Amino acid sequence: MTGGAGFVGATLVRRLVNSGHFVRVFDNYTTGDPAHLDGVDAELVEGDIRDVAALDKALDGLDSVIHLAAAGSVVMSVEDPVSNFDVNVVGTFRVLDAARRAGVERTVQASTGGALIGDATPPVDELSLPRPISPYGASKLAGEGYAHAFAKTYGLRTVALRFANVYGPWSARKQGAMTKFFQALHNGDPIIIYGDGTSSRDYTHVDDISGALQLALENDVPGGTVLHIASGVETTVSDLASLCRAAADLPDHPIEYRPKRPGEVDRNFASYDLAKQVLGYTPSISREDGIRSTWQWFQEEVFTD
């Protein structure tokens, strides 16, 4: 599993190990942390997905690869599109090509819904026309393209899962709105909202995302498959701020509005109907319960000063 010491990986590795899978984690710890997997019976290998020799060694003897490693920030991709391309496009190609050489049967890779589709009337689904408005979205679309090509050319059984906005435990290093809102609430700083607060996202708990990844790994899904993994619930940024304030029992915490940032999609939420049909995926954690439990995790594991 590439990126297995990161946010989603920390939950998924535990899930797969508990299900009886042997898991080898390949991570350069740029955003991940080996401490996330303390006490977990998984093999940890430090390395970069762009390092062909290290990848070949890491994939030796494996029959499946879950590819989570990525440069995941829209804002950072706008600031540095070259680095984003290098990690997400070149890196994904290296992983797929190493899997091909190693005779790996199945690859499951993390993609994205909102950034890849771009501005479109939600709910988006697998038939929505991709028109990325950020380098990050374009890089994920390129990764899907290579996965489909490797499936049709080499018979590699690839599955790309388009994640909604993932949240939950182990997300302290994630540069997303919820993490920043929680930090502001803890520090007593105003919550910063870019734009007028009406932009929206689909927030899906990491347990549901990890469940979908395991389903994609274990089910007989045709190579080249692309599926949206989401909650199907639209949440505006203002609603998210209110939910975070409620979870922290600070309903009147101040909010500061700033100009909208380039590259960010206005409205987005997704239909998971095809994932339900193909994988049997259904989200199980409500937005309110998930945000409340995530705040509790931050209180216990991050805000310990």
Catalytic residues: 136
Q: How many Å apart are CA 185 and CA 139, to the nearest integer?
A: 33
Residue 44: Cβ within 10 Å count: 17
Sign of the torsion angle spanned by Cα atoms 169, 135, 201, 109 = negative
94: Cα separation from own chain's centroid: 19
Tokens of 232: 């199907």
Q: How many Å apart are CA 175 and CA 171, to the nearest integer?
A: 9
Is the Cβ–Cβ distance between 265 and 113 less than 8 Å? no
Is the Cβ–Cβ distance between 192 and 256 less than 8 Å? yes
Is the Cβ–Cβ distance between 226 and 111 less than 8 Å? yes
Is the Cβ–Cβ distance between 96 and 151 less than 8 Å? no
- Max Cα–Cα distance, the chain, nearest Å: 57
| DSSP conformation class of 190 | P
H or E element that contains 111: strand 106-112
- Beta partners for 178? none
Residue in 278, 201, 288, 184 with CA at minimum distance from that of residue 238: 201
